[in-house]
Structure 1
């Protein structure tokens, strides 16, 4: 099976042609974003997911068990407290979508997040060979692994550094 990591050079070649337009690297504010800023954003996302853990979707979070009628009041309260603590203390695993959103507001900005999302989408489109593929549904696909998501983030950071505009 071909991995995303083994296809990085081929991906960069074809995606680079599509992202050469200046507007690709322009955020919603109308201002340009550098490739280095996008790479740093993606590296921060990777570091956050390394620290907190990655889950495919929120249903996969082991800290948030499904509530059912057989649970005791104590078990329900403990699950609720764990969920609340996770939100308040910034603990517990994140999805790729929630990690990029969190970094976009913590150490980056919305423009950089938007352009980073575009870069991730372009690489997923090349990898899947589907023109409408997007990185969040790709990351949430059943069977997806953290190694694959990390490889995507790493490849996208390298791609942005090489092909993105300079300051």
Structure 2
């Protein structure tokens, strides 16, 4: 793939993620680090895979540790107007969260002339997802999440593009 397209992917993912957090959740997401990765696998306490296909085939992975999931889940649920979170609902809520961010990212690519279709999200919590480095490239963008209004540190989110 073209290095300019790779850079466009990172910038688009970063901007879309930050914008979604500010507009939908009213919290700040700061891009802390980003770049290519040679990890042979992906494994997090909370990991949602959002595959896409079209002119490019791949997946977005939305990952966070348990602390971030615990702090962020009530904020996300509140955005979806859920007053209580039943046991087992967390993965559905995070799947819909990943869907909304993923659609925002892919709409940006659509505006740039790339055509993609999003497939249903998959929950891969505590599972290792292998990355075939011979066939795929991997980029990681790490975001620092904070609620400035309430002065709370909410953790870090990782967006991994394969």
* TM-score normalized with structure 2 length: 0.30
Q: State which structure, 1 or 2, has the greater radius of gyration over its C-alpha atoms.
A: 1
Q: Looking at secondary structure, tell me which structure has more helix per residue.
A: 1
* TM-score normalized with structure 1 length: 0.29
